[in-house]
């Protein structure tokens, strides 16, 4: 078993190529096989975690599975503030995945709790009362998420943790996410590479974490702290501080201003997502810090994050092709809705829930570090294929036309 707190085993070459933005239909046909469910003459496709492409063609192989299942699939997303991805990517990609598999609009439902745990519980209750057989839950916090899942399972509903692990949830649930330690490692390596490229001498680094109640934030920190630790140990970098973590950009901005005032020698910051990076960058720009001199990092490949990279204020962003995560979650939900055991090719790992000391069956997809060097061939290319996400016209505004041209974005 692979614990999420250690690096994920090497994935297939097909998965790596896929998540660099290359759509290879052959990947799906070569790794997807059909098996016959015990006691049934119906064939069940054995979809793999690395099969999902930006054209959603793999989901079309699950139409038979979708037609044999019963009950509503309910999706519960947390908010619209901690990350722009839930509105820009997750909701439309999940909808597209379910529709590609043949579900009608009354067979799935995607809700956003708008930052309220009570609202999410109400939405979950409504889904259950409407006949939900599966719930995908991205919780606001582990406690409220576990309460929702426990109540759902007591009423015979299958549950899937989506993107964030629900620590303390039922032992027999599933989890779909990216390898979040690897996400952190990409952030750490991106910071190291950027410090070198931008010729930052005597790096004095402030570490700014995500919310400590979010299990993902802990795993991101494990990843980037592991990369940076040798540099702190040998004295080549200095760790100035690590204030309390948060996903709220306004709090991040205040924390950074306080740290920067107290430690004006800070000349690099590890920021765990694009929104937090943007909060720091707003302070740097207000203070007249030049571009390509003060590294920050991020994840989510949001429009502001990508534009900050083009401006030279952010080193890079972890691109998590949400279409792959959304398709994986939708596929998993379809297996459970049809009463089938998901194939091991899809459920390709386990995640340790230390709250209950159990390994949770998991699906991992692969993240990618994006800079000006590969932005055109990853995020922008995928948005053209999916019809969702930042396009050249989205990015190349506000005086960024020349930066886009230099990055091959047109």
Residues 301 and 344 occupy one common structural domain: no
Orientation angle between helical segments 274-286 and 249-262, nearest 10 degrees: 50
Q: Let me know whether 278 and 202 are in one domain.
A: yes
* Claim to verify: residue 275 and residue 389 sit in the same structural domain: yes
Reported pTM: 0.75
User: Measured between alpha carbons, how far is 35 from 158 in angstroms, rounded to an integer?
Assistant: 22
Residues 326, 314, single domain; the answer is no
Considering only CA atoms, which of 13, 47, 5, 1 is closest in space to residue 366? 13
Domain count, the chain: 2
* Residue span of the structural domain in which 70 resides: 13-178+322-367
CB atoms within 10 A of CB 197: 12
Q: Are residues 241 and 380 in the same domain?
A: yes
Residue 120 lies in a domain: yes
Domain-located, residue 8: no
Residues 332 and 312 in one domain: no
The candidate with the shortest Cα–Cα distance to 156, out of 138, 139, 172, 142, is 172
Q: Is residue 3 part of a domain?
A: no
How far CA 273 is from CA of 84, 183, 320, in Å, comes to 10, 10, 11
**Inside any domain, residue 203:** yes
Do 48 and 112 sit in the same domain of this protein? yes
Please check whether residue 52 lies inside any domain of the structure: yes
> Based on the domain organization, do 156 and 300 belong to the same domain?
no
Contact call for residues 359 and 203 (beta carbons, < 8 A): no
Q: How far is CA 345 from the centre of its chain?
A: 20
Residue 52: phi and psi, rounded to 5, are -75, 130
Contact 322, 26 (CB under 8 A): no
Residue 6 belongs to some domain of the structure: no
Domain identity same for 173 and 202: no
Taking only the tens of pLDDT, the chain with its 410 residues reads 333 333 333 333 333 333 333 333 333 333 444 544 443 434 678 899 989 999 999 999 999 999 999 999 999 999 988 777 898 889 999 999 999 999 999 999 999 999 999 999 999 999 999 999 999 999 999 999 999 999 999 999 999 999 999 999 999 999 999 989 999 999 999 999 999 999 999 999 999 999 998 888 999 999 999 999 999 999 999 999 999 999 999 999 999 999 999 999 999 999 999 999 999 999 999 999 999 999 999 999 999 999 999 999 999 999 999 999 999 999 999 999 999 999 999 999 999 999 999 999 999 998 999 999 999 999 999 999 998 889 999 999 989 999 999 999 98
346 and 395 in one domain?
no
Q: What is the CATH number of the domain that holds 249?
A: 3.40.50.2300
Note whether 296 and 332 are same-domain residues. no
What is the rounded CA–CA span in Å between residue 360 and residue 161? 10
């Amino acid at each position: 078993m692979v614990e999420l707190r250690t690096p994920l085993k090497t994935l297939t070459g097909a998965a790596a190529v896929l998540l660099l933005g290359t759509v290879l239909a052959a990947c799906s046909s070569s790794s997807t096989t059909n098996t016959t469910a015990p006691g049934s003459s119906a064939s069940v496709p054995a979809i793999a975690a690395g099969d999902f492409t930006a054209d959603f063609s793999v989901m079309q192989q699950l139409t038979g599975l979708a037609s044999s299942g019963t009950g509503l699939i309910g999706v519960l997303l947390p908010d619209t503030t901690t990350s722009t991805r839930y509105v820009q990517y997750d909701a439309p990609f999940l909808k597209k995945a379910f529709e590609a598999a043949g579900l009608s609009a009354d067979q799935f439902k995607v809700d956003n709790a708008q930052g309220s745990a009570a609202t999410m519980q109400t939405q979950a209750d409504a889904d259950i009362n409407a006949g939900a057989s599966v719930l995908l839950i991205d919780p606001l916090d582990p406690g409220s998420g576990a309460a929702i899942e426990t109540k759902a399972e007591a009423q015979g509903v299958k549950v899937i943790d989506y993107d964030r692990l629900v620590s303390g949830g039922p032992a027999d649930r599933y989890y779909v996410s990216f390898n979040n330690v690897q996400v952190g490692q990409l952030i750490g390596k991106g910071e190291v590479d950027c410090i070198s490229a931008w010729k930052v001498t005597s790096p004095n680094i402030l570490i700014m974490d995500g919310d400590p109640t979010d299990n993902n934030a802990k795993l991101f920190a494990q990843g980037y702290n592991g990369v940076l630790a040798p540099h702190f140990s040998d004295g080549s970098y200095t760790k100035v501080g690590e204030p309390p973590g948060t996903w709220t950009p306004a709090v991040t901005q205040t924390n950074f201003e306080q740290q920067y005032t107290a430690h004006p020698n800070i000349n690099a910051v590890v920021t765990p997502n694009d929104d937090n990076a943007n909060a720091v960058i707003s302070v740097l720009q207000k203070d007249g810090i030049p571009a390509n001199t003060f590294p920050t990092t991020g994840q989510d490949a949001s429009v502001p994050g990508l534009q900050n990279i083009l401006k030279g204020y952010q080193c890079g962003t972890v691109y998590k092709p949400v279409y792959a995560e959304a398709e994986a979650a939708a596929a998993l939900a379809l297996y459970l809705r049809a009463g089938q055991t998901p194939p091991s090719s899809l459920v390709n790992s386990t995640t340790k829930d230390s709250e209950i000391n159990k390994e949770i069956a998991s699906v991992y997809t692969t993240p990618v570090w994006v800079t000006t060097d590969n932005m055109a061939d990853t995020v922008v290319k995928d948005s053209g294929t999916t019809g969702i996400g930042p396009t050249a016209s989205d990015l190349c505004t506000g005086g960024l036309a020349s930066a886009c041209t230099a990055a091959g974005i047109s």
